[in-house]
Amino acid sequence: MRRWVRQADIDDGVVDGQTSSEQSELVQLRRKLRRLEMENEVLRRAAAYFAQDSLPK
């Protein structure tokens, strides 16, 4: 319970710290970053695969 009181104080601007909305945004941004990094890796591997296929023999 003490944690919720402290977070409420932070959200109200009484105490310095990361607000609940900032924490939520950070979680969302980290998830988005992780997803984009995975998508980027898939695209990198696909490009390498198709580049191998188009090499002259």
Q: Domain count of the chain?
A: 1
Q: What percent of the chain has pLDDT over 70?
A: 93
Boundaries of domain holding 23: 19-57
Domain-located, residue 9? no
> What is the rounded distance in angstroms from the CA atom of residue 55 to the CA atom of residue 44?
17
pLDDT digits (tens, 9 = 90+) for 4-30: 778 888 888 888 888 999 999 999 999
> What is the rounded distance in angstroms from the CA atom of residue 25 to the CA atom of residue 16?
18
- In order, the DSSP letters of 34-49 are HHHHHHHHHHHHHHHH
- Is 57's pLDDT higher than 70? no
Domain-located, residue 29? yes
The Cα-based distances of 27 to 10, 12, 31 in angstroms read 18, 21, 6
Q: Is the model's pTM score more than 0.75?
A: no
